[in-house]
Amino acid sequence: MSRTRREKATITIRLTQERHTVIKRLCVLKGMTQTGYLASLATDQARRELEEHAVREYLGGKASLSDLARKTGLDVPTIMEAVAASGAEEKRAIEGFLKAARSLADTHSDPEFYDLAVKAVAA
């Protein structure tokens, strides 16, 4: 049985000794090679940034899902999940803000403070 060989690219990075020591220690603890760790780290970060780009472009009305899938290499369901997650994250932030505003309004007996927070969120 023959194994399929994947083409590989080589990228060289230069690190200060301090940064190299940090990465080397982490890799020892994780039982990973430095190459494997850095490749995984770079790939994960690039994927997150591609998703963030797709969400910004889609929500900004600059591109359709199919255009973004073609440009980013991500599939449409992945982009849709990222868009949905970004809305949920925003909703949680707004809820947290309003909860804090309610708490401050109650603490200082100032109901107008909460009303102002609601108006700020609506704007």
Please tell me the distance from the alpha carbon of residue 27 to that of residue 3, in angstroms, as a whole number.
27
Tokens 């603890």 appear where? 29
Q: Is the per-residue pLDDT at 1 higher than 90? A: no
Give residue-wise pLDDT tens across range 65-103.
999 999 999 999 999 999 988 887 788 888 889 999 999
Sequence letter at residue 56:
R
pLDDT of residue 88: 72
Nearest of 37, 39, 40 to residue 22 by alpha carbon: 37
Q: For residues 49 and 41, is the Cβ–Cβ distance under 8 A? A: no
Please tell me the distance from the alpha carbon of residue 121 to that of residue 97, in angstroms, as a whole number.
9
pLDDT of residue 122: 87
Give residue-wise pLDDT tens across range 7-37.
999 999 999 999 999 999 999 999 999 999 9
